[in-house]
Amino acid sequence: MDFILPLYKNALISPEANMFFAVVMGFAFGFVLERTGFTRSQYIADTFYFRSLAVPKIMGVTVITATTWFIIFAWMGWIDLSALFTPKTYVWPYLFGGMLFGLGMVMSGYCPGTAVAGLGTGKSDALVFLLGLFGGAFLYFLLYPMIADFASSSNLGVLKLHDLFGGNEYISYILTVLLESGIIGFLVLLQKLTNKGEK
Amino acid sequence: MEKKYWNPYFGGVVLGTMLFLVFAIASQGFGASGTFSRATAQLLVNSDKSWLDNAYIASYFRHGGSALNNWTVIETIGILFGGFVSALLAGRLMIRPDKSPDYPVAKRFLWAFIGGMIIEFSTRLTRGCTSGQGLDGMATFSVGTWIFMFAVFGSALIFSPLFRKQWVGGEKKEGGE
């Protein structure tokens, strides 16, 4: 079967057009990050004190929405889901790196994407954060000869949810929707039970 | 007057549709952390060619040309302008740090810088940030991304008491009720 989407992998748009599209979609991404409050480090950090659940709500609904489009388009035979770039699974580096990331996130209140948009809105702490990113990359390059083995350890390749249980992408989709809506529901319930007084 | 932020569920539907579009066209999702790693590598190589001996830096120059000739780098420039235009239109464009009101700016900057260092370092291990690994990987059903996401939010919750003053402020105002 001939798929139409994704356009770039199927050579239906030129590399130049794809680069132009990168600016346009980046702009839209930055715009929405600002509209939803994600350009404010304090607003992001509110998540970890149960003062706001905007972050998990937005992330969860984003994933549910995107995967719903994927599944509909795949069902119609319009998109080749296996052609979408999917990160490989490196178990220990992701576990350790993720925990490090979480520390950095509650410390700084930003992620690289939200800080770039935050700089656009004039946040001075976002600028300082972005300078820190250069420092972190430099440190990684310096230490790379020592940690290269760890960084590429426990590589399971591209591993999707349905690979664990058998079945196809529909199984992954159902699991994803259940996980995301379950997490949002659990957090909303927890927030109701723990701090009735706070917003 | 400032506008209100979008409802999170509405924001999620908009962002999710955009995430679908970006995958459907570019075959890859949003990202940002790679941009800063590439920019750092480019700066180092510009200052001294011997940095190309570093295997990680060299991987950015495999195809010749600049490390910055990359989809995510171009997209990151768009993110900056998107944030700017949205804040401008919403009346939220203002040069200031974000923190709880009484927290000293110098300490806020220190945590922002160290946090930035930690985050970029960790994204090299995790092949992306909460966009390039988190959103993109969850949308493509990656098992590793779920490991990453639980580690991120679990760890942030564990460490959150250490940074409470920066974000929430003191429990009670002095001289308060």
Strand partners, A79: A5
Smallest Cβ distance to B9: which of A61, A68, A160?
Answer: A61
- Kindly state the tokens that stand for B100: 């709880």
Q: What residues have CB less than 8 Å from B45, skipping those under 6 apart?
A: B51, B52, B57, B61, B67
Task: Identify the pLDDT of residue A154.
Answer: 97
Checking if the pLDDT of B49 tops 80, the result is yes
- Whether residues A32 and B5 touch (CB distance < 8 A) is answered with no
Task: Identify the pLDDT of residue A197.
Answer: 52
Smallest Cβ distance to B39: which of A107, A113, A134?
Answer: A134
Which pLDDT band, with edges at 50, 70 and 90, does A2 fall under?
confident
To test the contact with chain A by mutation, choose from B5, B70, B72, B98 the residue with the greatest count of A C-beta atoms within 10 A, namely B98
Checking if the pLDDT of B124 tops 70, the result is yes
- Whether residues A26 and B130 touch (CB distance < 8 A) is answered with no
- Kindly state the tokens that stand for A49: 């004190």
Do residues A169 and A74 touch, judged by C-beta distance below 8 A?
A: yes
Q: What does B2-64 look like in DSSP terms, one character per residue? A: PPPPPPHHHHHHHHHHHHHHHHHHHSS----HHHHHHHHHHHHHHH-GGGGGSHHHHHTTTTS
* Residues of B with Cβ-Cβ distance to A98 under 8 angstroms: 122, 126, 147-152, 155
Task: Identify the pLDDT of residue B176.
Answer: 41
pLDDT per residue over A137-182, tens digit each? 999 999 999 999 999 999 999 999 999 998 999 999 999 999 999 9
Q: How far is CA A172 from CA A148, A151, A165, B114, in A?
A: 31, 27, 9, 37
* Residues of A with Cβ-Cβ distance to B56 under 8 angstroms: 140-141, 144, 148
Task: Identify the pLDDT of residue A3.
Answer: 86
pLDDT per residue over B11-31, tens digit each? 999 999 999 999 999 999 999
CA separation for the pair A180, A185 (Å, rounded): 9
When pLDDT is averaged across residues A2-23 and rounded to a whole number, the result is: 92
Whose structure tokens read 């715009």? A31
Checking if the pLDDT of A198 tops 80, the result is no
Task: Identify the pLDDT of residue B2.
Answer: 61
Task: Identify the pLDDT of residue B170.
Answer: 77
Q: ipTM for the complex?
A: 0.96
Which pLDDT band, with edges at 50, 70 and 90, does A194 fall under?
confident
- Which amino acid, one-letter code, is at B140? T
Task: Identify the pLDDT of residue B1.
Answer: 47
When pLDDT is averaged across residues B86-94 and rounded to a whole number, the result is: 97
Provide the shortest C-alpha distance from residue A74 to chain B (in Å).
11
To test the contact with chain A by mutation, choose from B42, B118, B159, B164 the residue with the greatest count of A C-beta atoms within 10 A, namely B118
Checking if the pLDDT of B177 tops 50, the result is no
Does any CB of chain B come closer than 8 Å to the CB of residue A72?
no
- Whether residues A100 and B136 touch (CB distance < 8 A) is answered with no
- Kindly state the tokens that stand for A86: 């999917």
Find the closest chain A residue to B92 by CA distance. Answer: A121
Checking if the pLDDT of A123 tops 60, the result is yes
Residue B169 burial (CB count, 10 A): 15
Q: What share of chain A is helix, strand, coil (3-state, %, to 5)?
A: 70, 5, 25
**How many Cβ pairs closer than 8 A exist between chain A and B?**
521
To test the contact with chain A by mutation, choose from B79, B92, B152, B168 the residue with the greatest count of A C-beta atoms within 10 A, namely B79
Checking if the pLDDT of B99 tops 60, the result is yes
Look up the pTM and report it: 0.95
Does any CB of chain A come closer than 8 Å to the CB of residue B157?
yes
* Residues of B with Cβ-Cβ distance to A43 under 8 angstroms: 98
Q: What is the mean pLDDT of chain A?
A: 95
Task: Identify the pLDDT of residue B171.
Answer: 59
Does any CB of chain A come closer than 8 Å to the CB of residue B83?
yes
pLDDT per residue over A49-67, tens digit each? 999 999 999 999 999 999 9
Rg (CA), chain B: 20
Q: How far is CA B126 from CA A111, A179, B101, in A?
A: 13, 21, 34
Q: Kindly state the DSSP code that residue B140 receives in the 8-state scheme.
A: T
Smallest Cβ distance to A5: which of B24, B147, B164?
Answer: B24
